[in-house]
Structure 1
């Protein structure tokens, strides 16, 4: 049984999943982690989702306004034991649906080259590669994507 709730960054389950995400990224990013970490604070996220499987929180994601008509996808994570089941796809689809309901026309995101699972998810979800934007413009290990919303 899968359930997705819409919430914000004060949700305890979201906070706990993000702690797992940050621990994973600290390993993957190594010495570059502090650079990325400064752009991933969750203290003021108004649009977050948590995915529950059998009433256990196993995945999350968030969107944050980047510019008028553009939402940035942030803090996507699925617990390792729950991966490969399409749960991240469900989280991403819910975020896109929410962004559309709020009147946004596009989602953008950044992920790291050391996160092949994330890159595969975004390709599979019809995101297209774009030049690195904003603070990621000159970052060699970053990969940026966008998707036009319907």
Structure 2
């Protein structure tokens, strides 16, 4: 399947639908108070860049975002691919695009929070295959048995 990945606004009906499907997928996996979801309006903020994966017909089939924090930290947010395309490495391609942008922006570390309950295993595999390692509590997240934290150090660009 031919897939394109581009930076897009999340304020589109098909991206809103994708994020709604993501929320529906996550809702039964952890208690609501330990789900740290961004709305599409928050995803449209200046500090966040949203990537959308589309199939050859233009249908939105996946998404992921890079949220910029102080001190050279980028946070991976809202990673999701539709169940019908899972296993086709679209999540890896989205994560690669996020990582490339973080490098381009001169960030030195990518971080993320994900769940710990059954159902999150594919996410752990994706992050670990992409060079992320488990770490302690990050940013302003609470320390909880429902959260797993990952980080990936990025190579600093060599000044020319």
TM-score for the superposition, normalised by structure 1: 0.89
Q: Where does structure 2 lack aligned partners over 5 or more consecutive residues? A: 156-160
1:37-93 deviation line (CA, Å, top 9, x unaligned)? 4x5333233300000122221110001113220010000000001001111000000
Shift of residue 28, structure 1, vs aligned partner: 1.5
Higher helix share: 1
- Specify the alignment match of 2:66 in structure 1: 63
Measured in 1, the distance between the counterparts of 2:18 and 2:144 equals 26
- Specify the alignment match of 2:107 in structure 1: 104
Residue 106 of structure 2 aligns to a residue in which SS?
A: coil
Residue of 132, 138, 154 corresponding to 1:133 = 138
Instruction: Give the number of the structure whose alpha-carbon radius of gyration is greater.
Output: 2
TM-score for the superposition, normalised by structure 2: 0.84
Q: Which runs of 4+ in 1 moved over 4 A?
A: none
- Specify the alignment match of 1:43 in structure 2: 41
Residue of 48, 53, 56 corresponding to 2:55 = 53
Residue 134 of structure 1 aligns to a residue in which SS?
A: coil
Q: Where does structure 1 lack aligned partners over 5 or more consecutive residues? A: none
What is the root-mean-square deviation in Å for CA atoms of aligned residues? 1.6
Measured in 2, the distance between the counterparts of 1:133 and 1:41 equals 20
